[in-house]
Amino acid sequence: MLSESALAAFRSALGADRVFDDAVTRALYAHDETPRHVEPEAVLFPASHADVAALVRIAFEHGIALTPRGAGSGNVGGALPAPGSVVVSFECMRRVLEFDPDNRLIVVEPGVVTDDIDRIARSAGLFYPPDPGSSAYCRIGGNLAMNAAGPRAVKYGVTRDYVLGLRAVTGSGQEIRTGCRTTKGVTGYDLSRLLVGSGGTLALITEATLKLLPAPEAVATLRVCFASNRSALDAVSRVMHQAVTPCALEFMDRHAIDAIRPTGAADDLPPGTRALLMVEADGAAQDLPRQIAALEQALAGEGLLDMRSGFKRDDIARLWAARRSLSHAVKRIAPLKINEDVVVPVSQLADFVDFIDHTAQAQRLPIVSFGHAGNGNLHVNLMVHPDDADEMRRARLAHEAIMLRALALGGTLSGEHGIGTEKRRFVAQEIDPATLGLMHAIKQQFDPHGLLNPGKLFPD
């Protein structure tokens, strides 16, 4: 129970209209996209860096755990309140502090919507490459916390690659700045890269200086149908072994295709289609035909059923229809989606997808796989009925088998969703004890009382 003195201190620092401990607000902020609910003791809405520094110092003084939150769109429990904690929602910190097209950078607060950053950049002929699937509503603070990515990561990299510098507040209330405003800089340790992907466990980010790139002149798309998962994923290996790097290389397995059939989005796929690749290239308009021809040559091979290209906006939209309809279509299979985003080496993708299929059969579960094949990053979706205890038991067995298989193939537990609460029990399987010990020591330096997003990222 939050003490009256702590509540009074928060209200004095932020204003009474930015501190809520009523039952309705606490219930609204009791969950993210995971099915679990934990009500916080209160919800705070800072409006500035100074507000964040003040509330962290109060929390440090009173020993109150803090759970940072952006849009709450994560699905690994990263924004799930720890018992007894206070949620710090950054949705009111949504100012663009600076836009400098000449130096190709933008400075934003953590509550800015990711798509808005790209929209502002494109007004000056630039763009912000990271494009998570929730970019229309997710906040850049959450992207920084989880090192989010998206389809364009295969060519352009992830959020961490576009962070020039950060302003943040550590767990003891110390205000820090990391990085610089230039694309080159090696003064001191690279704390920016350390904070990005740390899930809010080291410091609360209040400001980010982001690198922008010149926007590509044009885009072209290929939709490629295959007779099997293996033939499609063998083609992925060929694509990633030649000179033209696509700006998107997305995979859908046969279960994903079956899921979209009722929507009509699969009506124009040729009979026998059991896997689908979406391949995109960008750059100078006059160079796109050359890029597409090179990609077509790499994609051609055993199991290819159909390949269609699009160079105009309407044609591209039609080709993407099947992939765009997938998220909603999958939700019709079962009420709960356990969504994982493991990564394996590209050369191991075909074997990994075969293992997922065998696991689905063994545990009698629908498992739908799709994702960013060019990075080896698969979204593995276990579709379950949470009120069926036996099905949930089988889902836990399948989930564990898939996690451990990804590690055995030389992969990692997460490509872009993070660890949160849902995968922490597997972390010691990936990271050796000495390295984990060093990470705990770093956590202690940034957050000596362990108040920032406790119960996340590391096993107990």
Write down the pTM of the prediction: 0.94
> Do both 66 and 116 map to the same domain?
no
For position 374, which CATH number holds? Answer: 3.30.70.2740
For position 247, which CATH number holds? Answer: 3.30.70.2190
Q: Please report the pLDDT score of residue 184 as a whole number.
A: 93
Could you give the CA distance from residue 236 to residue 230 in angstroms, rounded to a whole number? 10
- Count of structural domains, the chain: 4
Query: Residue 442 domain-assigned?
Result: no
Give CA separation, 24 vs 28, 39, 85, in Å: 6, 10, 16
Question: Comparing C-alpha atoms, which of 111, 340, 293, 308 is closest to residue 208?
Answer: 111
pLDDT in tens, 276-319: 999 999 999 999 999 999 999 999 999 999 999 999 989 888 88
Chosen domain end from 180, 197, 214: 214
> Do both 239 and 317 map to the same domain?
yes
Chosen domain end from 66, 89, 112: 89
Query: CB-side exposure of 195: number of CA atoms within 13 Å?
Result: 31
Sign of CA dihedral 347, 353, 356, 362: negative
> Do both 316 and 338 map to the same domain?
no
Q: Please report the pLDDT score of residue 35 as a whole number.
A: 84
> Do both 48 and 125 map to the same domain?
no
> Do both 187 and 239 map to the same domain?
no
Q: What burial letters (b/e) apply to 344-359, b meaning 16+ CB within 10 Å? A: bebbbbbebbebbbeb
Residue 20 has pLDDT above 90, yes or no: yes
Percent of the chain topping pLDDT 90? 89
- What residues make up the domain containing 30? 4-89
Q: Are 411 and 376 in contact (CB under 8 A)?
A: yes
pLDDT in tens, 341-389: 999 999 999 999 999 999 999 999 999 999 999 999 999 999 999 999 9
pLDDT in tens, 319-336: 888 888 887 788 889 999
Phi, psi dihedral angles at 248 (to 5 degrees): -155, 140
> Do both 225 and 320 map to the same domain?
yes
Residue 26 has pLDDT above 90, yes or no: yes
> Do both 123 and 160 map to the same domain?
yes
Query: Residue 69 domain-assigned?
Result: yes
Q: How confident is the model at residue 442 (pLDDT cuts 50, 70, 90)?
A: very high
> Do both 11 and 54 map to the same domain?
yes
Give CA separation, 229 vs 22, 125, 252, 349, 358, in Å: 51, 38, 8, 9, 13
Mean pLDDT calculated for residue range 392-413: 97
> Do both 110 and 206 map to the same domain?
yes
Mean pLDDT calculated for residue range 107-134: 97
Q: What burial letters (b/e) apply to 93-130, b meaning 16+ CB within 10 Å? A: bbeeeebeeeebbbbbbbbbbbbbbbebbeebebbbbb
